[in-house]
Amino acid sequence: MIPYGHHDIDEDDVAAVSAVLRGEWLTTGPVLEQFEADLRGFTGGTPVVAVSSGTAALHVAYAAAGVGPGDEVITPPMTFIATQATAVALGATIVFADVCSDTANIDPGAVEAAITSRTKAIVAVDYAGHPADMDALRAIADQHGLILIEDAAHSLGSTYKGRPVGSLADITAFSFFPTKNITTAEGGAVAVRDAATLQRAREFARQGLVREPSRHRITGEGPWHQEVHAFGLNYRLPDVLAALGSSQLTRLAAFKARRAEVKASHDAAFAGRADLEIPAQRPHVDPMWHLYPLRVPVNRRRAVFERLREVGVGVQVNYLPAYWHPAFADLGFPRGLCPVAEEFYRREISLPMSTTLTDEQVAVVGDAVIASLEH
């Protein structure tokens, strides 16, 4: 089976993890601090809080933004449901805005139409690694006094108009799951531009603990004292995983280049096919391609998917529109809310995309797709 996604681990990664295992710190310590510093080199200098997963990063982002009961959060439906679930966990109401037909990223026009007096935040998801239209979304957020959050689970290493993802939104959430652009096995991070919001993010991810004596409300307890002002959760990323992340970051540019080569090879394989639509790239964007979302004829999608799996090509579909999940359907969200997203879903198949794919495997995938359409 040619895998749909695959981690890329080398001996330097193994050595970095082994060094931590032989040291004094396994959990949150100096190696985590170094990983956070290393990440800043890829977020345009925006400070970073590393956490235990991409889902944790989203939860921390919403909590730091002050999202809570009565607030509305505007999101696209073309994303993994963690984008919405973590806001719902804080008591927020999700409002879905449709996507652009070329990129499957949230449509700024649909966002503008969805804003109400209860809107708290706009969430842009960088689908497949292609950044959303952040300037347009920034203008809308500023006009209405809203918080702009970027779900960049797919897009570490991407740039928008020459600016790195991590520097574009008020808060940016990353994922380091094994199939992502770098991995810490499990892990994530939030990049936060505002100092007060950054402090809330860090404390929420560390169980709410306040350690600085100057901020303590209980005094005279002694040098051991720490206290909680607002409840948080244990979203710590261990040093042993942070070591893997720092090592992986040294190869981020090489990872990006290889993913671009795979994307170009897939594109060439399907050139001139009127029945296929390859992933779009807008001129002002330099993506780190996380997925290769190919669109095939609606009436052939399932057959093509099953045929590819039969011949050993590990394809996937990304994603079921979020409000189709029973958890949202049970809340009264009907189908048809976002017709562009639904049409995209009905045609989409994610082909294998990873840095470990060989040229031969990429060629096999292209040939198998063509054969499956003619089968």
In DSSP terms, 147 is beta-bridged to: 121
Q: Which amino acid is at 280?
A: A
Element spanning 241, H or E: helix 239-249
Please, which residues bridge with residue 124 across strands?
Answer: 150
Q: How far apart are CA 160 and CA 210, in angstroms?
A: 36
Cα separation of 97 and 148, whole Å?
Answer: 14
Would residue 263 show up in a list of annotated catalytic residues for this protein?
no
Q: Any alpha helices (H) in the chain, and if so which ranges?
A: 11-21, 30-40, 54-64, 82-88, 108-114, 134-144, 195-204, 239-249, 252-269, 301-310, 326-329, 339-347, 359-374
Catalytic residue among 120, 180, 256, 263: 180
DSSP bridge partners of 99: 106
Helix H or strand E segment including 286: strand 285-286
- 309-327 exposure pattern, b = at least 16 Cβ within 10 A, e = fewer: eeeebbbbebbebbbbbee
Helices (H), 22-81: 30-40, 54-64
Q: Active-site residues: which are they? A: 180
